[in-house]
Structure 1
Amino acid sequence: MSEAHDVQALSDVDIHVYEAVASQTVETGGAGLGGLIRATGLSEEEVRHGLARLVEYGYVVPQGDGYALGPHTFEVEY
């Protein structure tokens, strides 16, 4: 993450996807697309869009075939 991003600029969908990534990462060490779609109840397109934005901001990072948490300056409860 080369510059700071305001977490308040994230959409509700982005936050929902982030929370799902965080939950699955804590439980299993990573989050796959299928699991994120099931966990969020969102469409694949919505999850992919949220992941793209989170990766762009550096809050989520690609890890193998899935995703993990990147550096962040905020906390979520799940």
Structure 2
Amino acid sequence: MRDDGAGPAEGRAEESLGDAQEMSSRELTVYEAVATLNVDERPATVSEIAGMTELPEDDVRRALGGLADGGRLVRDGEAYKLGAHDWGLDY
């Protein structure tokens, strides 16, 4: 797993999400925060994610940008929601 906080690997096609292990630890943390909020179909804002993760807002923005560029998240106005994924939650 990358842990440099950078965006997705350069050259990775948006339609090819690849393995979750390709995400940095920061991206994975941000992705999990977005997924948590999206359980209630609520888009996640930068400030909400920063509060949940205790990451600086600039770091959250960079991670969100990389995740959106890689197709894992979709921008919804000023917020983000999950992009295509192949998993679900059972309650």
Gaps (5+ residues) in structure 1? none
TM-score, normalization by structure 2: 0.73
Cα pair distance change 1:19/1:2, threshold 3 Å: same
The secondary structure found in structure 1 opposite 2:39 is: helix
Shift in Å, 1:70:
0.2
Map of 1:48 onto structure 2? 61
| RMSD across aligned positions (CA) | 1.9
TM-score, normalization by structure 1: 0.83
The residue correspondences of 1:28-67 to structure 2 (distance < 5 A) are: 28-67=41-80
Runs of 4 or more above 4 Å deviation: none
Task: Answer whether contact 1:32 1:65 (CA < 8 A) is retained.
Answer: yes
Map of 1:15 onto structure 2? 28
Which has the bigger relative contact order, CA under 8 A and spacing at least 6?
1
Cα pair distance change 1:33/1:73, threshold 3 Å: same
Alignment deviations for residues 30-76 of structure 1 (CA, whole Å, 9 cap, x no partner): 11111011011001111011111100110100012200000024579
- Give the number of aligned pairs: 76
Gaps (5+ residues) in structure 2? 1-13
Paired letter, 1:55: A
Query: Percent same amino acid at aligned positions?
Result: 33
